Amino acid sequence: MHQLLLLSSLWILVAPPALSIFQRPTGSPAPPHLQYLLEPLHTAVHTQRGATATLPCVLRALPRNYRVKWSKVEPTNYRESIIIITNGLYHKNYGPLSPRVHLRHSHRYDASLTITNVALEDEGRYRCQLVNGLEDESVSLMLHLEGEDGILPVVSIGDVGESREETLGWGSMVDCLHTSSWTEGLDWCNAGWILDGTVHYPIINSREPCGGRLLLPGVRTYGARDKQKDRFDAFCFTSALQGSQVYFIRGHLNFKEAGQACRNHGATIAKVGQLYSAWKFSQLDRCDGGWLADGSVRYPITTPRERCGGLPDPGVRSFGFPSKELRTYGTYCFVGK
């Protein structure tokens, strides 16, 4: 597990001029488009899932009748979703982030945004905009999630909407199938959706069923497809969550009994993505099939062996979706911090 790394933003403080307590050194004037906002030294903040992160936004002066608006740039349509608006005295929160955000407000010039219990979907570009009539200006910052994470394929043949619903049990759909994921060993012959509506598949070992042996390894693409009519798998992003655990309860349980068994232990029946995360990051290894929240039965294998499916590679094996009345399997439970 990588250690938590938060990049703080630093500014140079000097003797105050007439209207401001902040000033750049002589010979280093602020860019003309940033009259009131200070440009942060670092425009990327690195954090971990479940942590608290602060995106810096500090004013060098307080104009009359101003507002500061925080928003998040959505990768699918490049529109901005408003998060919070303040006039320095009062503020109002908006949208799904509302319960987890507040202004740091360590001094009267501080409009920095603090996000608690950071989730996978929080990663992305944010904008702090000073709204002051004709003199509007803004700074952009990126929130990056660090630590152990991974991009994993979901076998879920569907359109973009159906695939996004399926991937909620994992974390979030990938907004870009990075080349680094391929170089780290992701080799998958089935094409899958990513968030922008394009379809790709990563290949390390060129072979006949995957485009032929003559094509070079790499991240191959089908390009943009019809988001409603075309049906593919999906690529999803998940991250290790500190303080969480997936464990197995042995028994001959039907689906309803499996959920109750987990609740009796103060846990919930595990989602597919939580089992994959435990397999990938905690090396969970069991030969026992167990119920999961989507009604499927699966088991995680990190050390392949003949009596555990016989397949040569590690992975999460599946028994599919048996009748929920069948009393044959145990259950995998999830407990968070």
- pLDDT digits 0-9 by tens, 280-302: 778 899 999 999 988 989 999 99
Q: How confident is the model at residue 185 (pLDDT cuts 50, 70, 90)?
A: low
At residue 150, does pLDDT exceed 80?
no
> Is residue 101 in a domain?
yes
pLDDT over 80 (residue 265): yes
Q: Which whole number is the average pLDDT over 221-242? A: 74
Residue scoring higher pLDDT (24 or 174): 174
The DSSP secondary-structure symbol of 177 reads -
Examine the fold and report which residue of 189, 215, 234 is the final residue of a domain before the chain moves on: 234
Domain presence at residue 9? no
Q: Among 162-166, 187-191, 273-277, whose mean pLDDT is lowest?
A: 162-166
Which letter, b or e, does each residue of 35-61 get, where b requires 16 or more Cβ atoms within 10 Å of its Cβ?
ebbbebeeeebbbbbbbebbbbbbbbb
Nearest CA to 155 among 273, 303, 274, 289?
273
pLDDT at residue 336, rounded to an integer: 77
Claim to verify: residue 208 and residue 288 sit in the same structural domain: no
Q: Among candidates 296, 305, 301, 333, which has minimal Cα distance to 155?
A: 296
Same domain, yes or no: 42 and 123: yes
Domain that holds residue 100: 37-145
**How remote is the C-alpha of 30 from its chain's centroid?**
34
Residue pair 238/310 in contact (Cβ under 8 Å)? The answer is no
Percent of the chain predicted with pLDDT > 90: 28
Tell me the mean pLDDT in the region 89-107: 91
In a domain, 220, yes or no: yes
Most confident of 133-142, 200-209, 219-228, 259-268: 259-268
pTM of full prediction above 0.85? no
Looking at the domain assignment, is residue 297 inside a domain? Answer: yes
Lookup result for tokens 């009267």: 108
